[in-house]
């Protein structure tokens, strides 16, 4: 063992590094940890891949789908006009729907029993009625109320206006519960701290509560946006020329039902995929600093 200049023995670092510690107190080699073989899971995964490959092959190589017809109609002006109306209708429903839903949520959390009761009644009524029934009621508003404030209601509202009104009122009821859940997720200590700083109710909501509540609001709100985009197809029953109605007009003339439905399906899949990507990045933005955020 080498020594330093004062004669004190020092450890040979190269020898200490190379020496391996004993395996255990008995001197026997430590057992090697081997991961458990999951034969069943790998077999199930292989079976699923085989089934997916067979399903994909049946879709691609099945002449009944008429993929050449799908390609011919995918970018036609009629289909693109219907797609544009669908996107436009989705935006015009979601923006006022969420604005009204936010108002209803704040009313539901108010200390005033009248405001709470009105908000609860609105949400209860419009969540209980199917959206198609609501649209049909608005479509036949002239039979229910021939005149309102001296104005004849027969043919007062066109199909597009009826679709906007019906879908917005329906969306607001669901948005109110989403916003209310997000507000309730904020810790009460945050509100108490804001009150101690002398912030007013509206400023507390805008500057303190909503920015933190967005973490809980964005995921269901994104699902609602995608659901609204697909749900606009229901307006085809009142002759609003959205994407579905546009392809229906074509296949009623050409009798090529399957390929035209595939055209609508592919456009819905493409748009919802883009919205899903946007939702992912928006969730990640509001989840900054949270545990498990990516």
pLDDT of amino acid 144? 79
pLDDT-derived band at 15, boundaries 50, 70, 90: very low
- Closest residue by Cα to residue 227 from 264, 155, 275, 259: 275
Q: What is the DSSP string of the chain?
A: --B-TTS-B---HHHHHHSPPPSSTTSPPPPPP-PPP-HHHHHHHHHHHHHHHHHHHHHHS-GGG-HHHHHHHTT-HHHHHHHHHHHHHHHHHHHHHHHHHHHHHHHHTSS-HHHHHHHHHHHHHHHHS-HHHHHHHHHTHHHH-SEETTEE-TTTS-HHHHHHHHHHHHHHHHHHHHHHHHHHTS-HHHHHHHHHTT--HHHIIIIIIHHHHHHHHHHHHHHHHHHHHHHGGGGGGGT---HHHHHHHHHHHH--HHHHHHHHHHHHHHHHHHHHHHHHHHHHHHTTTSTT--
d(CA 280, CA 224): 14
d(CA 164, CA 234): 12
d(CA 205, CA 212): 10
d(CA 232, CA 224): 12
d(CA 130, CA 147): 26
pLDDT-derived band at 293, boundaries 50, 70, 90: low
Read off the pLDDT of residues 227-272 as tens digits, 9 standing for 90 and up: 999 988 888 888 888 999 999 999 999 889 999 999 999 999 999 9
Read off the pLDDT of residues 26-50 as tens digits, 9 standing for 90 and up: 666 767 776 777 788 888 999 999 9
Read off the pLDDT of residues 79-138 as tens digits, 9 standing for 90 and up: 999 999 999 999 999 999 999 999 999 899 888 999 999 999 999 999 999 999 989 888
Average pLDDT, the chain: 83
d(CA 130, CA 139): 14
Q: How many CA atoms lie within 13 A of 211 on its CB side?
A: 8
d(CA 244, CA 79): 9
Reply yes or no on whether the pLDDT at 25 is more than 60: no
Tokens of 294: 């990516």
101 class by beta-carbon count within 10 Å (0-12 exposed, 13-18 middle, 19+ buried):
buried
With vertex at residue 152, the alpha carbon angle to CA 133 and CA 155, rounded to the nearest 5 degrees, is 55
pLDDT of amino acid 13? 46
pTM above 0.85, yes or no: no
Q: Which of 15-19, 220-224, 240-244, 285-289 has the lowest mean pLDDT?
A: 15-19
- Closest residue by Cα to residue 133 from 161, 162, 158, 92: 162
- Closest residue by Cα to residue 178 from 97, 253, 241: 97
* Cβ proximity of 223 and 282 under 8 Å: no
Tokens of 185: 């997720």
Tokens of 125: 């009524």
d(CA 69, CA 193): 63
């Amino acid at each position: 063992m080498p020594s330093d200049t004062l004669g004190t023995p020092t450890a040979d670092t190269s020898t200490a590094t190379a020496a391996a510690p004993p395996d255990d107190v008995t001197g026997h080699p430590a057992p090697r940890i081997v991961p458990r073989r999951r034969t069943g899971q790998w077999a199930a995964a292989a079976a699923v891949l085989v089934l997916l490959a067979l399903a994909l092959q049946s879709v691609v190589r099945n002449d009944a789908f008429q993929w050449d017809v799908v390609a011919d109609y995918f970018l036609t002006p009629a289909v693109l006009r219907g797609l544009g109306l669908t996107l436009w209708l989705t935006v015009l429903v979601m923006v006022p729907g969420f604005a009204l839903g936010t108002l209803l949520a704040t009313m539901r959390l108010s200390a005033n029993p009248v405001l709470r009761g009105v908000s609860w009644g609105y949400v209860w009524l419009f969540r209980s009625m199917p959206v198609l029934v609501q649209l049909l009621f608005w479509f036949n508003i002239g039979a229910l109320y021939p005149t309102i404030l001296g104005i004849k209601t027969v043919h007062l509202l066109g199909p597009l206006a009826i679709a906007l009104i019906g879908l917005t009122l329906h969306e607001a009821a669901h948005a109110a519960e989403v916003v209310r859940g997000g507000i309730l997720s904020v810790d009460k200590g945050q509100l108490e701290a804001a009150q101690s700083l002398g912030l007013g109710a509206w400023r507390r909501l805008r500057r303190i509560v909503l920015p933190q509540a967005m973490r809980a609001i964005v995921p269901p709100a994104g699902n609602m946006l995608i659901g609204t985009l697909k749900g606009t197809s229901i307006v085809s029953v009142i002759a609003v020329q959205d994407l579905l109605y546009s392809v229906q007009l074509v296949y009623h003339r050409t009798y090529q039902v399957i390929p035209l439905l595939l055209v609508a399906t592919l456009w819905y899949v493409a748009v919802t995929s883009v919205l899903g990507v946007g939702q992912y990045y928006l969730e990640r933005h509001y989840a900054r600093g949270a545990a498990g955020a990516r």
